[in-house]
Structure formats: C-alpha cells, structure tokens
Amino acid sequence: MTINANISLVDIATVPISLPRANDRKLAVRGLACSKLIAADISYGYAPVGAEASFPIWENSYTIGVRFKDEQSEIFVDGRCYHTPRRSTETHILYLSGVEHIDFASPRHTQEVLLQQSFMREIADDLEVPYASDLGRSAFHVTEDPNLRALALRIYPLFDQPEALDPLMADHFMWALGIYVCAHFGGMATRRPIAGGLSTWQTRLAKEVIETHLVGSIGLGELAALCGLRTSQFSHAFRRSVGMAPYQWLVLRRIARAQHLLRYGTSGIADIALACGFADQSHLIRNFKRHVGVSPSRWRRSLQ
C-alpha cells in the first residue's frame, strides 16, 4: 500500500483488500486531517505495487464517497455483498466500521470523507433534535444526489494544497456536510427557530478572537463557546451579522494584514505570508490574487 497522507494511520484497524495477481496495480491514498475533517483521495490501478494491501477503518464511522470513474468491485459489509457495477456519477454512503472485505476488479478513484457517529450525535445535540443513527437504506447506500456530490467535492482541491486547510474552514465544511447527510439520508429533523444575528458584544468578540488567531486559527466550536452559543447557531448568526462565514472573514483579515505589511514594511513575500497565517508564499499569492485581483508584489509596486 502506498500512502501519501497528512493523516495518521496509527492505532486503527484495516480492511483486507483483494487485488488482481498482476503487478501493474497500485493502491494510493492521500489524506487530509484538520479539526473534525478526515478525508482521503483513493486511487487504485494506475502504477506498480505488490499484491497485498489494506485500507484503514475507524470505529463507529460512515464514509461519504464521491466516485470519479466507473468501476467494478465487491464490498462485503455486515455479512452482505454489494457487487453491482458503479457509475462515475454516483456518490455512496458506506458504514465503514461494518466493512469486512473489499475486492477491486477494476481501477477506481474516489474521494472519501469520514463522518463519525460521535460527530453525528454532536450535530443532533447542537440542533436539539433526535440523533440520526442510520444513514441510507442499507450499510452501503448509493445515490446520484448532485447536491451531495457538489458539497463533498468542495474540499477536493485541498488534497493538492493541504497547507491551505485550517480549523475554521474544516469545521465549516464538516458541519455543512454532516447536517445535509443526517437530514437527507438519516431523517434528522432540522427545524429550528429563525436565528437572528450576533449581538454587538458577540460580533466584536468573535472578530477580535479571529484577529488574534490569524496565525494558527481557531475552531468553530471554540468561537461559538466564547459567544455562549451552540456551533450551528453561531455559524448562522455570524453570517447574518457579518455577511460571510467565519473562515471567510479569517481569510479577509489575513489579506488585510498582508496589505498592511506590504505597504509599511520591508519584509519579503515569504516572510509576510507566515506572519499573516498563510502556509507559505504560494498560499498567500493564491488568496491575494483571488481577493485583490493582482499578486502581492505587483500590488506593492503599485504603491510606489
């Protein structure tokens, strides 16, 4: 098994995987892990590897999988075999902790996002609704829901830019995905009173805390707790008051600090990137161009 990952695979069980005898196949996993987000980009069948492989599993978890290619495989889950051909347009919900064996009969490429049942309970408690204990009609449920696919794929570019991921972004994604999946496939109620915005002191506190965490960031749940709110309630209220999600505000404040340092300082772009909480110079350049329209160096020259 070849693993190119940022996630730790220590102290977890593995699912046996059967590969063809030919030595022209490879199982490769790229991982993302930040706060509540654990995801993997999995490809098989594109380069040489040995005949033995295994795939990590976590206890009490589902995985939300987006398929990029048609494939043929057999998955044994809780004593049942699922073996019909799968189309590239499909998204699946798999009870990962029930997987017993996987047979790959063809190349495959999927993105998998882990949805732990402990987090599903946290969502239900936060919304003050009954917990959705099961997702889908079976332990392996396939759907062509375009909204679920689009939502799950929001993080796919981050497998090439893992340094761009921070806790606020990861939490925002996981809460959105978790609520959607639990509501649409687990029957979880999402009725809640219409939420207003943050009070003046809550808005000021949230902005000040984000400002002091431009380097290192802070989790969504921590911000909510400081304001005395539940996580989902805080997220909706912040957007209502500020006009954007907390992690979007974080990025804008990092850009603003970079502009200040570019205008009044003499440091190089790489040093400014680190001082503003960006992972590196290229991370700053991408975000600066997206929000300002030009590169940091060109923007600095325009001030002269």
What is the value of pTM for the model shown? 0.79
Report which listed range, 38-52, 80-94, 130-144, 242-256, is most confident: 242-256
pLDDT at 1: 29
- 93 phi/psi in degrees, rounded to 5: -120, 115
3-state SS track over 226-249: HCCCCHHHHHHHHHHHHCCCHHHH
- Specify the DSSP element, H or E, that contains 172: helix 167-185
Rg of the chain over Cα atoms, rounded to whole angstroms, equals 22
Res 23 pLDDT > 50: no
Report which listed range, 14-28, 57-71, 191-205, is most confident: 57-71
Round to whole Å and give the CA distance between 167 and 155: 13
For 190-196, what is the mean pLDDT? 64
Confidence of residue 101 (pLDDT cuts 50, 70, 90): confident
- 167 phi/psi in degrees, rounded to 5: -60, -40
pLDDT at 187: 87
For 131-151, what is the mean pLDDT? 86
Average pLDDT, whole number, for the chain?
83
Res 16 pLDDT > 70: no
pLDDT at 7: 37
Joined together, the tokens standing for residue 13 give 């069980």
Res 28 pLDDT > 70: yes
Instruction: Name the nearest CA neighbour of 52 among 14, 24, 18.
Output: 18
Confidence of residue 129 (pLDDT cuts 50, 70, 90): confident
Cβ atoms within 10 A of the Cβ of 96, count? 23
Res 184 pLDDT > 80: yes
Res 12 pLDDT > 50: no
Helices and strands (H and E) in the chain: how many? 10, 12
Res 199 pLDDT > 50: yes
Q: Are 248 and 210 in contact (CB under 8 A)?
A: no
